[in-house]
Copies of this chain bind each other. A is one copy, B any other.
Amino acid sequence: MSKTVDVLARYLPILEWGRTYNRSILTSDLVAAIIVTIMLIPQSLAYALLAGLPPIVGLYASILPLVAYAIFGTSRTLAVGPVAVLSLMTASAAGAIAAPGSAEYLEAAITLAALSGIMLTVLGLLRLGFLANLLSHPVISGFITASGILIATSQLKHIIGVQAGGDNWPAMLSSLAASLDTTNPWTIAIGVPALVFLFWVRSGFKRTLMSAGVPPRPADIIAKAGPVIAVVLTILAAIGFNLGAKNVDLVGAIPSGLPPFAVPSTDVALIEKLWVPALLISIIGFVESVSVAQTLAAKRRQRILPDQELVGLGASNIASAFSGGYPVTGGFARSAVNFDAGARTPAAGAFTAGGIALASLFLTPLLASLPIATLAATIIVAVLSLVDLKTPAQLWNYSKADFAAHLATIVITLLAGVEMGVIAGVTVGLMLYLWRASRPHAAIVGRVPETEHFRNIERHSVFTVPHVLSIRIDESLTYLNARWLEEYVLERVADQPEVQHVILMASAVNEIDASGLESLEAIHHRLADAGIGLHLSEVKGPVMDRLKRTHFLDELNGRVFLSQNRAFRELADDGGHAAPASDDMARGLI
């Protein structure tokens, strides 16, 4: 019985933490849930706006997904829901299908969540979480920076009250510039102060609170509730000055009530158009979420299981789709607030869901007069903190290849949009990796005098003899570098016509795949044709076990030595060439 629970607990983490749940944990979770709920309401509305969806969809996406994650997720403190980058990606994908505001647009967003949920769940069940490794740190940071710039630029129109468009950065900027003569002074009068206030809340408010005697952690949490203050103040301003009549865009009437039951589209033509964006949304969302979850788990010495996280996020997105929401993932800001506010189990997330549900039942009439400019200011302040301008210089300094992947991601994302940006970053990173993997490290080695150690002849004063060539291979032999190995060995032999024996020192070879084996056979064949012996030394146990299953060792014209030292000693003696006859023959001999 208990064993069954253990196995089940792997796929249903709720069974594990649920067993030890008590009143003290409940209190902690409830307090955290109240704080996160207050923070989430304006954020959810804002991100739905960014995604081109009705604001209420942001609330819908913050209810059932949290409950689903509480059941299936492995992080104790991750808070899932709409996030900036996925909202931008949703806008990009759904915008290619239909015009924002149309029923088709909403259907596309819901279908994206469903596809992404299915993909994440399948990747998790197949334990393919490693695919997220394809997104290197430089690619992710480049993508986040460029997305931040794109998002902030896209929201500027709401701050100054103009109509503008564009689906890449230059187009956005020029559309914005062309619209400058139609600005609405009333919108600016709301938007600019909201923007300044929110920037100040993020930077100076916490310090003000602390100097007023509030302890650091509560001060931090209160500062993060700054957007709520902006929301309340601008609603009051909109009502007081009747801004709706002055062409200031307001959120407008929101239907009160719980999320509807929605059904994602099963239209094959639509799915064909959406599967690539859905896959990218899945992977970007997973990487963002796992990074946050791992950081928070490490602080409390807890663990998360990446493959189960895929299932948890998959369940969240499926829940989002069936309740009329759009793609969600674990967000950094909300998870940090949840953690700081003392959440101890995923139940805090479920309680937050309850809070948002109450809000969507009772608070929506109050939000009708909220200016869109306030939400835009919330978004701009949130995303500009993601823009990281120090990384490019650091990468340039440390690794040109990583810099190239970073820059390619930024430039392509700004010029060709989020999907192409991610694809370009992954492609450039992978190409550079494969390029390096196809040119692995190897060295000709000789014996360090009076020791049994062998070192690179180019860096050390070592002893060699001209009829024995010792090559140390510093990587596993795989299909990516097999052809290189053939060229390397045969060229070294061509450079040294006296060679009678080649020793491949395999101390760093962890694996030889079938292509590597074929290359070894080809090398052996060509050396044997030329009357040269091929020998191996220091072959690792598992590699040797596999070689024994082939005919390679039976056909080998040379020997397999346990140590490079013994191989060199015996072969250097062979043919009476052991005593070096000239400087030329005893390179570096002391």
| In the assembled complex, A475 has its CB within 8 A of some CB on chain B | yes
The answer to whether B130 and A515 have CB atoms under 8 Å apart is: no
The answer to whether B479 and A429 have CB atoms under 8 Å apart is: yes
Please tell me which stretch of A29-37, A44-52, A250-258, A294-302 contacts chain B, meaning at least 4 of its Cβ atoms lie within 8 angstroms of it: A294-302
| In the assembled complex, A152 has its CB within 8 A of some CB on chain B | no
Known contacts A137-B514, A398-B517, A398-B549, then 12 further A-B pairs from the complex at CB < 8 Å, ordered by chain A residue: A133-B479, A133-B484, A134-B480, A136-B482, A301-B530, A397-B550, A402-B514, A433-B478, A433-B480, A440-B510, A474-B508, A474-B510
A517 vs B530: C-alpha distance when bound (angstroms)? 45
The answer to whether A133 and B546 have CB atoms under 8 Å apart is: no
A130 vs B434: C-alpha distance when bound (angstroms)? 8
Across-interface contacts of A402 in B (CB, < 8 A): 513-515
| 18 A-B residue pairings within 8 Å (CB atoms) | A130-B435, A130-B439, A132-B483, A133-B438, A133-B483, A137-B482, A137-B515, A138-B514, A294-B486, A298-B490, A298-B529, A303-B491, A306-B483, A395-B514, A402-B515, A459-B541, A474-B508, A508-B508
CB distance from A505 to the nearest CB of B (A): 13
Across-interface contacts of A436 in B (CB, < 8 A): 511
How many chain A residues touch B (CB < 8 A): the figure is: 59
Contact with B along A406-436 (1 / 0, CB 8 A): 0000000000000000000000010001111
CB distance from A557 to the nearest CB of B (A): 16
Across-interface contacts of A581 in B (CB, < 8 A): none
CB distance from A289 to the nearest CB of B (A): 13
Smallest CB gap from A480: residue in B? B133
Q: Which A474-522 residues sit within 8 Å CB-CB of chain B?
A: 474-475, 478-484, 486, 490-491, 494, 508, 510-511, 513-515, 517-518
CB distance from A379 to the nearest CB of B (A): 27
Contact with B along A512-551 (1 / 0, CB 8 A): 0111011000000010011000000000010000100110
| In the assembled complex, A441 has its CB within 8 A of some CB on chain B | yes
The answer to whether A514 and B136 have CB atoms under 8 Å apart is: yes
| In the assembled complex, A401 has its CB within 8 A of some CB on chain B | yes
Residue from the set A137, A401, A479, A481 with the largest chain B CB neighbour count within 10 Å: A479
| In the assembled complex, A102 has its CB within 8 A of some CB on chain B | no
Residue from the set A397, A515, A517, A526 with the largest chain B CB neighbour count within 10 Å: A515
Across-interface contacts of A541 in B (CB, < 8 A): 459
Contact with B along A257-299 (1 / 0, CB 8 A): 0000000000000000000000000000000000000100011
Across-interface contacts of A482 in B (CB, < 8 A): 133, 136-137
Contact with B along A68-110 (1 / 0, CB 8 A): 0000000000000000000000000000000000000000000
Smallest CB gap from A510: residue in B? B441
A137 vs B485: C-alpha distance when bound (angstroms)? 14
The answer to whether B399 and A514 have CB atoms under 8 Å apart is: yes
Instruction: Give A residues with C-beta under 8 Å from B.
Output: 130-134, 136-138, 294, 298-299, 301, 303, 306, 394-395, 397-399, 401-402, 429, 433-436, 438-441, 459, 474-475, 478-484, 486, 490-491, 494, 508, 510-511, 513-515, 517-518, 526, 529-530, 541, 546, 549-550
CB distance from A131 to the nearest CB of B (A): 8
A429 vs B435: C-alpha distance when bound (angstroms)? 16
CB distance from A254 to the nearest CB of B (A): 41
The answer to whether A513 and B399 have CB atoms under 8 Å apart is: yes
CB distance from A288 to the nearest CB of B (A): 13
Across-interface contacts of A475 in B (CB, < 8 A): 510
The answer to whether A133 and B481 have CB atoms under 8 Å apart is: yes
A480 vs B529: C-alpha distance when bound (angstroms)? 40
The answer to whether A397 and B549 have CB atoms under 8 Å apart is: yes
The answer to whether A136 and B479 have CB atoms under 8 Å apart is: yes
Q: A133-B438, A474-B510, A546-B398 are in contact. Are A526 and B298 (CB under 8 A)?
A: yes
CB distance from A500 to the nearest CB of B (A): 16
A92 vs B203: C-alpha distance when bound (angstroms)? 63
The answer to whether A494 and B303 have CB atoms under 8 Å apart is: yes
The answer to whether A550 and B515 have CB atoms under 8 Å apart is: no
Q: Closest 7 CB pairs between A and B? A: A136-B479, A402-B514, A137-B515, A130-B438, A136-B515, A298-B526, A441-B510
CB distance from A77 to the nearest CB of B (A): 16
A298 vs B529: C-alpha distance when bound (angstroms)? 10
